[in-house]
Amino acid sequence: MPNVLALKFRIMAHFTAFFPAHDHAAAASTYDQIERAHREGLREESLHRHDLDGAWLVTVEREPLTPRVVVLDDGWVAVAGQIIDLDDDPRRFSAQRLLSALVLNNAEKINRFEGAFAAVAWHTPTRTAFVLNDQTSTLNLYVGDRSEGLWASTVALPLARALGVGLDPGGVREFFSRGTVLTPTSMFDGIRRLEAGESLRYRDARTERRFHWRPVQDPRPQENTRSAAAAVSELAKDRIRRFAGVSAGVIADLTGGYDSRMVATAANAVGKLAAVTVDGPDDHGDVRIAKLIARAMDWDLRHFDTSTFWSTPIGPEMRRELTYRANG
């Protein structure tokens, strides 16, 4: 049995990339500021700076979540998170196939890569950069289009600090009205997040927005509810088999909704369900429902009572780290 607590609350490793406009280069002090912000705000010490064919990349080294950097004959690709190549073994990832699909702007082939990931790529012969994440934008990926070039980062606050930008009034208003900030807005002026299915192509100081994926209706309508449920079930089981192929199993959250039950049931059906979890105090509706479902299905349930998570007051150092990890 995997360590459920460690898997559920593990912190993702980050990257920041810079792609120059023409022959421009970012100041070395900017790189230093980004690395300093990671160390001071996120308490990350193991950083690696890459100089790759005129582009630049900083990665946070934290096994097993260290971003993958694959250097190719015609460029390089960096990926944070979990990426699944549907045309290959789940444990392998063809960086060359992804880069070629991006260069050709082949949406069908780009969409053969799924998962929960953020990625940047550089095509050396044409000095073209690409920025994308998974179809539903599961992981945050921030971009700043500046005169010296294009910045892309999985974390916003170190980038904003290094570029010397302030808060974005629209982002602040949205945060106080919604309690969250939705794509493409961020909390910082001049920095935005990629939307669902969006990718960027950057060349000769010009940024082109592309959409390789949009939610589409199946052109083959289902005859009835049973056939529709079977189609959804088969798709869910297929993807879970692939994703579980690169991990120790699936840990599924249970809430009061049907979608979480479907994911857990699909994982159980293919023998990949390691455990189910639920967050909240004992009297919360989601907790009560999750316990009933787990008991009926004989699933191993791990309950995380969020009211007991903080046993000491949050001091300035912890407040700063939480602010960095929440991207402002």
Residues in the chain: 328
pLDDT at 132 over 90: yes
Contact at 8 Å (CB) between 197 and 213? yes
Q: Assign 26 a pLDDT band (cuts: 50, 70, 90).
A: low
Q: How far is CA 34 from CA 47, 318, 323, in A?
A: 10, 19, 16
Q: How far is CA 297 from CA 97, 172, 235, 261, 300, in A?
A: 41, 44, 22, 11, 9
Structure tokens, 304: 């995380």
Residue ranges of the domains in the chain? 11-211, 229-308
Lay out the sheet containing 47-52: strands in order across: 47-52, 55-60, 15-20, 149-153, 142-146, 192-193
Type of residue at 297? M
Q: Domain 11-211 in CATH: superfamily?
A: Aminohydrolase, N-terminal nucleophile (Ntn) domain (3.60.20.10)
Q: pLDDT digit string (tens) for 83-131?
A: 888 888 767 788 999 999 999 999 999 999 988 899 999 999 999 999 9
pTM score: 0.84
Torsion of Cα atoms, 69 then 150 then 181 then 133, to 10°: -40
